[in-house]
Amino acid sequence: MAHYPHPIIAREGWPYLAATTLAALVASVFLGWWSLPFWLAALFVLQFFRDPPREVPTGGGIVLSPADGRIVQVGDAKDPYLERDCVKISVFMNVFNVHSNRSPVDGTVENVWYFPGLFVNADLDKASTDNERNAVHLRTADGHDVTSVQVAGLIARRILCYVGKGERLARGQRYGFIRFGSRVDVYLPRGSRPRVAIGDRVSATTTVLAEFPRP
């Protein structure tokens, strides 16, 4: 997959932005000041689909946040995709966060799984197993396995993933998008050391979520 250039507004939002802006312009002609709600809708779409470039931290053995949002889970768990004990960190994205998803590590895509499901509030723990979701299994050059899972939310109705088995991703590289509110679960090797806590605000790529276990 080619590196995605950052045009500031995510390509997934271009049709929505064009439609809402056109509607606002037409409303301005016929409604004057009453067109304000149409312009607010266009402004909302503009901020939702923003996709700013990010500085990628250097250093080995670190796991970066794959999404903007708030940490809602940190702790020991079971990785249902690789069937292993692990450390799980979950990031909840509301409608005001950037929804572009970035690779948490440098690694090769070992597998991708898609599961249809429900659309309950992504802030709830059961969203990880009940909601529509797409899981990407990455393996680093050091042999660490990372599972990054895009989870749909109450309003989200479309998970977009642009990578397949065998592709290589660089840390911070854009690989997917979720429309309108969601979460991303990251499953890490047992013994990984979290660098965030529940309630912390994180930014995709720039925030270090955890460090891998030391050999």
Same domain, 175 and 202: yes
Give catalytic status of residue 35 as yes or no.
Answer: no
State which amino acid sits at residue 64: L
Give a yes or no: residue 57 inside a domain: no
For the chain, how many structural domains are there in total?
Answer: 2
How many degrees, rounded to 5, is the angle at CA 79 between CA 78 and CA 84?
A: 75
For 144-172, how does the pLDDT look when each residue is reduced to its tens digit (9 = 90+)?
A: 999 999 998 766 567 889 999 999 999 99
Domain that holds residue 38: 8-51
Residues 66-73 have a mean pLDDT of 94
Give a yes or no: residue 3 inside a domain: no
pLDDT class of 184 with cuts at 50, 70, 90: very high
Same domain, 89 and 38: no
User: What is residue 101's predicted lDDT score, i.e. its pLDDT?
Assistant: 93
**Given 100, 148, 182, 192, the catalytic residue:** 182
Same domain, 102 and 203: yes
Same domain, 30 and 82: no
Same domain, 126 and 79: yes
Mean residue pLDDT across the chain:
87
Give a yes or no: residue 153 inside a domain: yes
Same domain, 31 and 131: no
Rounded CA-CA distance 124/72 in Å is: 9
With a cut of 70, say whether residue 130 has pLDDT above it.
Answer: no
For 20-49, how does the pLDDT look when each residue is reduced to its tens digit (9 = 90+)?
A: 999 999 999 988 888 899 999 999 888 788
Same domain, 202 and 164: yes
